[in-house]
């Protein structure tokens, strides 16, 4: 019978981690748009870090005109109120909450039980933070540590390359006939969101999304989501240096 030493177990764990990360990097490279990123990459990130919640966010896609969401940003996700966000902004480096504050203070900043441990990393393009990737764990789980930060740093590097090379060609919806709120809904429709998902992201009822889409169809004289997206769609040119 073969006897496995603690050292061989450590080496095996390291090899498995590297293999999983490589598959994750390849999934990032294959993503054609943000929907592909969220569908195929974000779940893998959550699995890798044994996270309760995980997400990739691009700041220009956040509906900050929504008053409820704006208040959340003002109270929880600003440099002044959140030490994790402050570290992320100042250093352009991954961070977890234990690095920047005590557990007691963190519970005051973020009292949610499923956010007891939080780790975030920056997505950088042209020297600026354009988004972030984040994971959370519940109290029953272990805190994020140094190895998690190292893995997050590598993931952020690949996401930053993706943002700089693939994302500049993303769809942008424009129309003088739609309100800013209706354009937000149209953008989420273009990303393949359901009415329920749109309602959750914009903090409005699902029925409100349905009624808004009916008004938008009438304004644009279309009869389907695909037709609406095709009419509104333009593309940002990819700028060359």
Q: Where are the domains of the chain?
A: 8-167, 171-235
Q: Taking residues 117-126, report their average pLDDT.
A: 88
Q: How many CB atoms lie within 10 A of CB 173?
A: 20
Place of tokens 């008004």: 215
Please list, in sequence order, all residues whose beta carbon lies within 8 angstroms of the beta carbon of residue 89, skipping any fewer than 6 positions away: 79, 129
pLDDT digits (tens, 9 = 90+) for 19-77: 888 999 999 989 888 888 988 999 999 999 999 999 998 877 665 555 555 555 555 55
Q: Give the closest residue to 88 by CA, choosing from 124, 116, 42.
A: 124
Note the CATH number of domain 8-167: 3.30.450.40
Place of tokens 């997505």: 123
Confidence class for position 237, pLDDT limits 50, 70, 90: very low
The answer on pLDDT for 236 being more than 80 is: no
What pTM, to 2 d.p., does this model score?
0.62
Place of tokens 């090379």: 165
- Name the packing angle between helices 206-220 and 180-190 (round to 10°): 100
Give the fold, CATH level 3, of 171-235: Arc Repressor Mutant, subunit A (1.10.10)
- Residue bearing the bigger pLDDT, 155 or 72: 155
Q: Measuring CA to CA, how many Å separate 4 from each of 9, 11, 12, 36, 52? A: 7, 11, 10, 40, 32
The answer on pLDDT for 141 being more than 70 is: yes
Least confident of 63-72, 116-125, 198-207: 63-72
Question: In this structure, what token pair is assigned to residue 85?
Answer: 């966000």
Percent of the chain with pLDDT over 90: 31
Report pLDDT for 127.
72
């Amino acid at each position: 019978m073969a006897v496995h030493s603690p050292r061989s177990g450590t080496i095996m764990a390291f090899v498995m981690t590297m293999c999983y990360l490589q598959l994750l990097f390849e999934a990032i490279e294959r993503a054609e748009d943000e929907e592909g990123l969220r569908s195929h990459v974000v779940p893998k990130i959550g699995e890798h870090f044994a996270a309760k919640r995980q997400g990739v966010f691009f700041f220009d896609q956040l509906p900050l005109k929504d008053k409820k969401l704006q208040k959340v940003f003002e109270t929880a996700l600003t440099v002044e109120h959140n030490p994790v966000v402050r570290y992320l902004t100042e250093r352009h480096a991954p961070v977890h909450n234990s690095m920047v504050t005590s557990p007691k203070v963190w519970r005051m900043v973020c009292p949610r039980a499923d956010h007891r441990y939080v780790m975030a990393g920056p997505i950088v393009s042209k020297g600026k933070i354009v988004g972030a990737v984040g994971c959370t764990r519940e109290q029953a789980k272990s805190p994020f540590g140094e190895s998690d930060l190292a893995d997050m740093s590598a993931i952020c590097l690949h996401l930053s390359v993706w943002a700089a090379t693939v994302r500049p060609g993303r769809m942008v919806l424009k129309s003088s006939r739609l309100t800013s709120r209706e354009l937000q809904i149209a953008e989420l429709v273009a990303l393949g969101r359901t009415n329920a998902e749109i309602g959750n992201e914009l903090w409005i009822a699902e029925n409100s999304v349905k009624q808004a889409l009916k008004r938008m169809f009438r304004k644009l004289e279309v009869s389907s989501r695909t037709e609406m997206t095709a009419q509104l769609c333009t593309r940002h040119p990819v700028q060359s240096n």
